[in-house]
Amino acid sequence: MKYIEAFRDGRLARKIAALIAREADSNRQYYLMEFCGGHTHAISRYGIADLLPDRIHMIHGPGCPVCVLPMGRLENAIQLAQMPGVVLCTYGDMLRIPTAKGNSLLKIKAQGADIRMVYSSTEALNIAQQNPQKTIVFLAIGFETTTPATAVVIKQAQALGLSNFTVFCNHVLTPSAISHILQSPEIRQLGLVQLDGFIGPAHVSTVIGSRPYEYFAEEFQKPVVIAGFEPLDVMQAILMLIRQLNTGRAEVENEFTRAVLPQGNIKAKRLVAEVFELRPSFEWRGLGHVPYSALRIKSCFADFDAEQRFEIPALSLADHKACECGAILRGVKHPRDCKIFGTACTPDNPVGSCMVSSEGACAAYFRYGRFRDSQNQQTTAQH
C-alpha cells in the first residue's frame, strides 16, 4: 500500500485542484475524454469531478472492453456454449451481459451449459488439460492489456499439442478506436460532441507505449496525457491537458512515467505480432464497424481458432431499444441521459453492458452515487 497511498493524498489533491482552478481559463470551456473505464471509475469513486471547476467537462469514452463487445459477438458466445461437448471459459464480467431479448451466458449456464468463470487465460488452458474429452473455448476479450496473455496460451497449447483448446478472439485496439471517435460525424460534421483532449489509458500504454498516440495528436491536433489510475494521477493529467490547451499545444505527454515507456513492452508486442494479425474491420458496440481495429489469430495457429473450427457466423444485432450504452461509449450521451438508468437498469438487473462491467460508465455512476447528485439537483431546480 505504501506505493499507492502517496497517490491518494487528500492534501496534494487539494493543491492540484487549486492549480487547475487557477490555470483553467475562465473565458473558455474544456472538454476532456478519459478513454479508459478505469479512469471513469477513479473520477467517480474519488469525487474528482467535485474538485474541478464547472468549466471542465469530463466525457466518458469507449475504453471498457466488455462494454464495446457488440451484441452479435455475445450471441456467438451463447451459441458456442450451447454446443454439445463444449466448455466455454470466460471472465466474470461477460457472464451477466444481456442480449436485447434478456438472455445471457449466466442464464444459459443455469439451463445446463458448461460455462466456467476464469481469472486468467492460463486457467482456461488448465481446464483443457484436465478435460481432454471436452472442447474448451476461451472467450478472449480486452484491449492490448490482455492480448499478450492470450497469445501465450495459444503458443502453449500448440507446444503441448492440446487439440481440444480453442480461442474465440475478440481483442480490440485502442488507437484505432480513438481515431474513429475523432473522425465520427458527431465530432467532425455535426459538432454534437466538443472534444479538446484525451486522458490516455494506463494499462494499455504499459504494453504499447506512448508513441502510438502521436499520430492522432498531430493529425487531429488533440493533446493526450497518459495517466495512471490513482486520483492524483488523473488530476495531474487534467492539469497537464489544461496547460497544453492554454498554450495551443497538441502533444503526447506521459504522466504515468513509473510504468509507461515510449516504446512500451517490446517483448509483449513481439509475442502479439507472432500470434495475431489485424482484421480488416470489426464491429464495436456504439462505434459500428471500425477498420483495422481488432485482431484475429494467424493461420499458423488456425487449429486453436474457434471461429475457424466452429465456422462462427458474423452476426450484427441491435441493442435493447431503451439502452443508451452505444451513445455513452461514443461520448454523445452521459449515463444520466438514459431514461432507464437507475430505474429499470441497475447492477442487479442490467439492461446494457455499461451497467454490467466493472469498468462501465453507468456502473461507476450508480455505484458511487453520481446519479443521486443529479436527481437532487433536478429536484431542487424544480422547487
Tell me the pLDDT tens digit for each residue of 52-61.
999 999 999 9
Residue-wise DSSP of 231-280: HHHHHHHHHHHHHHHHTT---EEES-TTT--TT--HHHHHHHHHHEEE-S
Q: How far is CA 356 from CA 77, 118, 205, 331, 353, in A?
A: 17, 17, 25, 18, 5
Computed over every residue of the chain, the mean pLDDT equals 92
Residues 81 and 153 in one domain: yes
* Residue 121 belongs to some domain of the structure: yes
Residues 25 and 137 in one domain: no
pLDDT digits (tens, 9 = 90+) for 98-131: 998 889 999 999 999 999 999 999 999 999 999 9
Percentage, residues of the chain above pLDDT 90: 83
Joined together, the cell numbers standing for residue 167 give 480461442
Residues 44 and 93 in one domain: no
Residues 121 and 194 in one domain: no
Residues 100 and 231 in one domain: no
* Residue 18 belongs to some domain of the structure: yes
Angstrom distance (rounded) from CA 315 to CA 70: 9
* Residue 161 belongs to some domain of the structure: yes
* Residue 249 belongs to some domain of the structure: yes
Higher pLDDT pick, 100 / 33: 33
One-letter amino acid identity for 350? P
Per-residue DSSP letter, 293: -
pLDDT digits (tens, 9 = 90+) for 136-192: 999 999 999 999 999 999 999 999 999 999 999 999 999 999 998 888 877 666 667
pLDDT digits (tens, 9 = 90+) for 200-213: 999 999 999 999 99
Q: Domain count of the chain?
A: 2
pLDDT digits (tens, 9 = 90+) for 280-335: 999 999 899 999 999 999 999 999 999 999 999 989 898 899 999 999 998 889 89
Angstrom distance (rounded) from CA 161 to CA 61: 41
- Report the CATH number that the domain containing residue 212 is assigned in CATH: 3.40.50.11750
* Residue 337 belongs to some domain of the structure: no
Residues 244 and 305 in one domain: no
* Residue 366 belongs to some domain of the structure: no
- Give the structural domain span for 90: 71-173+264-309
User: What pLDDT does 190 receive?
Assistant: 62
Whether the per-residue pLDDT at 87 is higher than 50: the answer is yes
Angstrom distance (rounded) from CA 39 to CA 106: 28
Residues 269 and 169 in one domain: yes
Residues 132 and 81 in one domain: yes
Residues 95 and 235 in one domain: no
Whether the per-residue pLDDT at 381 is higher than 70: the answer is no
Residues 190 and 55 in one domain: yes
Cβ contacts of 381 within 8 Å, gap of 6 or more: none
Residues 164 and 281 in one domain: yes
Whether the per-residue pLDDT at 71 is higher than 50: the answer is yes
User: What pLDDT does 183 receive?
Assistant: 86
One-letter amino acid identity for 338? C
User: What pLDDT does 189 receive?
Assistant: 65
Mean pLDDT in residue range 5-32: 95
Angstrom distance (rounded) from CA 133 to CA 144: 32
Q: Which of 211, 231, 254 is the last residue of a domain?
A: 254
Q: Which of 208, 232, 254 is the last residue of a domain?
A: 254
Whether the per-residue pLDDT at 383 is higher than 90: the answer is no
* Residue 379 belongs to some domain of the structure: no
